[in-house]
Amino acid sequence: MSALFSPYQLGRLAMSNRIVVSPMCQYVAEDGRATSWHLVHLGGLAASGAAALVIEATAVEAAGRITPGDLGLWDATTEAALRPVVSAIRGVSGIKVILQLGHAGRKASSDAPWDGGRQLVPAVGGWTPSAPSALPHEETELPPIALDRRGMLRIRDAFVASAVRAVSLGVDGLELHAGHGYLLHQFLSPLANQRTDRYGGSLDNRMRFPLEVFDAVREALPLAMPLGIKLSATDWIDGGWDLDQSVTLARELKRRGVDWISVSSGGISPKQNIVAGPGYQVPFARRIGIDAGVTTIAVGLITEPRQADDIIASGAADFVALARAMLYDPRWAWHAAAALGATVEAPRPYWRAAPAAHAQLFHNTRFGSR
């Protein structure tokens, strides 16, 4: 049996294979509201054959958006806009639906990537971001406002409120975004966090706020709902957040009941020096999984079926998550199953799509029984 297509547990979720569709920001929401784009985009990926689909980073407050086009879940209006998207996924697929919650911190108020991704100042429709310290992401940007305790509590409570809304939407699990240079990562990294209170300085202090957010969300969720987190394992800068610190944080998260850690890297500073290549972040997932004893999801330039299968078979990670590869080939899991001699789930209207050489590609499920 292909390791990539073997069943496994993600928290209490029974997963039919080890493939996850990564959360991918689309930057086309309207004031935080999901649109027809999200319905079509996520609906298509729901039939990808992956075991789980993670909805893009969803802002817990309007000021926490990376761009004005970010998806949000901070009020009844944004919740109502996302509800038909989740319902549509449920109507066409048995895929597990996970929603990622995030706050951009000092990387908020930016243009969309295709418009340059530059900071938007208030005079041109942006807003003033907040962060652990009044340090801009780039030296040419306006500095953010350093959060006081009241602001930190507001954001913590916003994570909780959005998590409760996600439960109401009927998603299967949640993931907190603590990587890629966004707010929770900013608290972790000494490159962005130069506070002198109990939330800055030592590793324990820098971990304090992200752990407070995790604990508050975990307490607000039903006991059976899994909760994971996305980390940047290293800043790729000397003196920044690194793999050893990530292992320490992962151990703390395990003690608090984390169900998985999605292991990425970078994003805290444009000065990062990333050495990229196929599967370049997989060793980080291996180290965190082994040393902290947690379920891990490997990400980053995983594009080929046998590459993904080897990652799972070798024990380097428990799951692989694909982003750009899924956009380029939304049926990547089908093609991987064909290449590895495995079977995959598909809606019945698609059964005739399998070539004659792979006539048994689709296996029996609620949404795909012969």
Q: Which residues participate in catalysis according to the annotation?
A: 182
Contact 190, 240 (CB under 8 A): yes
Q: Which of 45, 57, 58 is nearest to 19 (CA)?
A: 45
Q: Name 318's Cβ contacts closer than 8 Å, sequence gap at least 6.
A: 8, 10, 18, 260, 289, 295, 296, 297, 312
Q: Which of 246, 248, 268, 174 is nearest to 216 (CA)?
A: 174
DSSP state letters, 70-91: --B-SSHHHHHHHHHHHHHHHH
Q: Which of 321, 295, 296 is nearest to 308 (CA)?
A: 321
Q: How many CA atoms lie within 13 Å of 87's alpha carbon, on the beta-carbon side?
A: 8
Among all chains, which residue has been given the structure tokens 């958006």? 65
How many residues can be counted in the chain? Answer: 370
DSSP state letters, 3-30: GGGS-EEETTEEESSSEEEPP------B
Q: Which of 121, 130, 110 is nearest to 186 (CA)?
A: 130
Contact 230, 264 (CB under 8 A): yes
Q: Please give the structure tokens belonging to residue 204.
A: 């324990």
Q: Please give the structure tokens belonging to residue 274.
A: 């990333």
Contact 338, 30 (CB under 8 A): no
Among all chains, which residue has been given the structure tokens 């998590």? 163
Contact 174, 99 (CB under 8 A): yes
